[in-house]
């Protein structure tokens, strides 16, 4: 047993020495290492293989010479050379214990080695309210949605009034920074949204319902919280050539279709909506590069809002 411990100590020492050199930006040469450690070339090659299999990014631009890839450092992953050598050694032990141990240990290593590395991607997601897991009703609500079970809800409106509803909870949804409960009342066709934080309490009922067959389609076609079950209003818009590329690459309006590309590069776009608020915020976002062509009452509504804003600012 002491002999085995001594062997382990020597292996850890070699790994530590190699990692120390690599972390200083130097190359290591297997023949030189074999001579320095007084071991066979194959032993040193196994040490290098172990470091590589553990996850350390080694490259070899010349036979027998190894270095870390440019920019990699143990300091970046907040790992000391001693800890790195110990991880490599433990990886070797895990491999000897069988495939399950090796697979589990590799998952742990990925978390350790790459958790603090910066991703190549960045996505800006609207900051929103957190779902409070300690809300007394949240687990019951999740389960009711999953099994299509009716519930009784006491809800406080924006005006501060409370009322109890018997509802069919369809989905817990997140739009523009807020959590909502998408629901139907008594299985009617139309859908409502309750702000999650305004739900005061729920009671799970011994009744069940069938989820609407078009639920996923309705959600997939939505662009904001103003969606509804029927998109029967047609809207036609003109998009200036200066911003046309954005509307070619992304869907800003429900069921958006490019109907025509004009000679000057501008676009004629058609959309089908359930209510005007589905597109009004987006129209205002793109003014003056967007113009409502149809319907007439939407054009008037846009003009009225602009006029009211001017009056409020004067």
Which CATH number belongs to the domain containing residue 11 in this structure? 1.10.10
pLDDT tens-digit series, residues 34-79: 998 899 999 999 888 888 877 788 888 889 899 988 877 777 666 6
Same-domain status, 195 and 227: no
Alpha-carbon distance 20 to 59, whole Å?
A: 16
What count of other Cβ atoms lies within 10 Å of the Cβ of residue 71?
7
DSSP 8-35: HHHHHHHHHHHHHHHHTT--EEHHHHHH
The residue with tokens 């350390």 is 56
| Per-residue pLDDT at 133 | 59
Same-domain status, 224 and 180: no
pLDDT classification of 1: cutoffs 50, 70, 90: very low
pLDDT: is 122 or 277 the higher one? 277
| Final residue in a domain of this structure, among 79, 114, 149 | 114
Q: How many domains are there within the chain?
A: 3
Same-domain status, 179 and 77: no
| Final residue in a domain of this structure, among 185, 212, 239 | 212
Same-domain status, 185 and 108: no
pLDDT at 293 over 60: yes
Alpha-carbon distance 5 to 15, whole Å?
A: 15
Cβ-based neighbours of 66, under 8 Å, separated by 6 or more: 22, 27, 28, 30, 48, 58, 59, 60
Same-domain status, 268 and 287: yes
Q: What is the CATH number of the domain that holds 178?
A: 2.30.30.520
pLDDT at 209 over 80: yes
Q: Which domain holds residue 163?
A: 138-212
The C-alpha angle 299, 304, 310, rounded to 5 degrees, equals 130
């Amino acid at each position: 047993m002491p002999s085995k411990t001594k062997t382990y100590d020597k292996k850890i020492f070699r790994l530590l020495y190699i990692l120390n050199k690599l972390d200083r930006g130097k190359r290591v040469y297997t023949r030189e290492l074999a001579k320095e450690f007084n071991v066979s070339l194959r032993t040193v090659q196994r040490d290098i293989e172990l470091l590589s299999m553990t996850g350390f990014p080694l490259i070899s631009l010349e036979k027998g010479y190894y270095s870390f890839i440019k920019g990699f450092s143990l300091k970046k992953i907040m790992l000391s050379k001693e800890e790195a050598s110990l991880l490599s050694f433990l990886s070797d032990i895990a491999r000897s214990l069988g495939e399950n141990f090796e697979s589990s240990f590799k998952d742990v290593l990925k978390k350790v080695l790459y958790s603090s590395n910066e991703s190549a991607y960045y996505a800006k997601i609207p900051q929103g309210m957190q779902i409070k897991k300690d809300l007394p009703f949240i687990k019951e609500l999740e389960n009711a949605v999953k099994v299509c079970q009716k519930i009784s809800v006491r809800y406080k409106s924006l005006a501060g009034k409370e009322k109890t509803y018997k509802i069919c909870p369809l989905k817990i949804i997140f739009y523009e920074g807020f959590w909502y409960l998408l629901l139907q009342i008594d299985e009617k066709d139309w859908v409502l949204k309750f702000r999650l934080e305004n739900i005061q309490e729920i009671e799970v009922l011994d009744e069940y319902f069938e989820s609407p067959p078009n639920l996923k389609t309705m959600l997939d076609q939505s662009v904001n919280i103003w969606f509804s079950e029927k998109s029967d209003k047609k809207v036609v818009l003109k998009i200036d050539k200066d911003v046309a590329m954005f509307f070619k690459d992304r869907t800003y309006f429900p069921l958006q279709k490019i109907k025509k590309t004009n000679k000057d590069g501008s676009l004629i776009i058609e959309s089908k909506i359930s209510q005007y608020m589905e597109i009004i915020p987006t129209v205002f976002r793109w003014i003056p590069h967007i113009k409502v062509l149809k319907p007439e009452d939407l054009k008037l509504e846009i003009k009225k809002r602009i006029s009211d804003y001017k009056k409020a600012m004067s």
